[in-house]
Amino acid sequence: MSQSSSSVLAVADVAVVLAVGAALAPLIRRLRQPRVIAEIVAGIALGPSLLGLVPGELTTHLFPAGVRPLLSAIAQVGVLLFMFLVGWEMDLGHARTRGRAVLGVSLASIAFPFGAGAVLATWLYGNHAMIDGHRVDQVAFVMFVGTAMAITAFPVLARIIVEHRLQLTPVGVISLSAAAAGDVLSWCMLALVSVVATSAHPGRLLEVLGYSALYALVLWAAVRPLLRVLIRRMSRNGGVSPQLLTIIAAGVFLAAYTTDRIGIHAIFGAFSFGLIMPRDSVEILVSHVRIPLEHVTGLLMPIFFITTGLSVDLSELGGSGIVELLAIIAVACLGKLAGVIPAARAAGMTWTDSTTVGLLMNTRGLTEVIILNAGLSLGILDTRMFTMMIVMALVTTAMAGPFLSYRPHARAGGRATAGRTAPESRLSEAASPGPAE
């Protein structure tokens, strides 16, 4: 297939993916699920798990090998911009109002799932140790699975909290703050896993860690104040330069390229650039930067899901795979609930509130899918393990909505919507329709 033909087919594939996702969205909404569920399901359905079972090899004809790199490149742009938005939304200032409760829930939501995931990974390693004739580093595998279990999908969580009108309740505030603090730590852990997986010897490991520390220092001490000055100068007299969005997007891609060159996955560069974005001048940045980028990622992220779906093949699991899948889902859920519920109770919350926080913190969503794709590209996960972890992310994300619909807080929270303060308004903005709704 010529390059021109591949490009045209890639454009047609984009249209198919967007159409299938749009068709599934109304059904998913009726089931009280976020849009990300529809997009994940669409990606899996168009891959070998469903469409690939139809006679005629439709998946291969629709997404031939020559087109997939083009789709991956388009998806990469969407993922990097999405991770930038995730980092930008993580304002840890909300945690100050309930510091002890947030700290306890955040640490428990990481420690228990990580420990349970590490034990499970030790059991699973023997069946997933070889990828294309190469042995996966056991330490990297165990650390990666444990960390993936510890993740909470911050963007999806924010949308669920607002949908159920919990943003003014202790449940909503503690869940969101704990997820923000915990995910920053989890991303640092994943960056370390990335270093371990890509470093062939201890000398290379130290080199990557050194460059990573230098990158973080430059980002915080030089790029962050420079961004403040840049935004202030480009938004004078009530107007905003159209170049501001372009420069920030260029900064995201440059940060991603830098971390990739260092030896850490590119998503960490985009995420870290979002973390150092200024939190002042909110109205200007929201209207001229964040909302346009949300529209862009809303179009590009479905392409990421089809590239993910092409690597998911449920038909290859077999009997032993089903047993492993059930174990993964059980450990993912029990690890979060066993960690969060006692921590929330220790902070003085009721059993009902504590359980609600546990259900919210068990949401993994799109963030988990991005992490799992990183594990696949780093050679930590084989396709069977990748498939099982994707299903776990789908199940844990889908659980929250139906369970919360029957909890008292879903109704009680709605009575406290008047007199919204700045932090709550910001949470509602964070939950506006975006790439991970």
Query: Domains of the chain, with CATH numbers?
Result: 80-301+316-430 (1.20.1530.20)
Does the pLDDT of residue 60 top 90, yes or no? no
Contacts of 113 (CB under 8 A, 6+ apart): 146, 149, 150, 331, 332, 335, 336, 339
The structure tokens listed for 195 are 């270093």
Where residue 430 falls among pLDDT bands split at 50, 70, 90? very low
Question: Looking at residues 260-276, what average pLDDT do you find?
Answer: 88
Mean pLDDT (whole number) for 179-194: 82
Tell me what pLDDT residue 331 has: 95
pTM: 0.82
Q: For residues 293 and 276, give the distance between their C-alpha atoms in angstroms, rounded to a whole number.
A: 17
Of 199-203, 333-337, 376-380, the range with the highest mean pLDDT is: 333-337
Q: Residue 4 pLDDT more than 80?
A: no
The H-assigned helical ranges of 134-223 are 138-150, 154-163, 170-198, 202-218
pLDDT in tens, 313-323: 888 888 888 99
Who contacts 293 (Cβ-Cβ below 8 Å, separation ≥6)?
81, 84, 85, 245, 249
Cα(155)–Cα(87) distance, integer angstroms = 10
Token pair for 17? 């993916």
Mean pLDDT of 380-391: 93
pLDDT attached to residue 420: 36
> Above 60 in pLDDT, residue 206?
yes
Identify the top-confidence range among 148-157, 287-296, 320-329: 320-329
Q: Which two tokens stand for residue 20?
A: 């299938």
DSSP string, 295-343: HHHHHHHHHHHHHHHTT--GGG-HHHHHHHHHHHHHHHHHHHHHHHHHH
- Do the Cβ atoms of 406 and 373 come closer than 8 Å? no
411 pLDDT tier (thresholds 50, 70, 90): very low
What's the number of CA atoms in the CB half-sphere (13 Å) around residue 392?
33
Rounded Cα gap, residues 28 and 34, in angstroms:
7
In order of 73, 148, 312, 367, 434, the CA distances from 141 in angstroms are 26, 11, 19, 19, 32
Q: How far apart are CA 391 and CA 421, in angstroms?
A: 38
**What average pLDDT score do residues 102-130 get?**
93
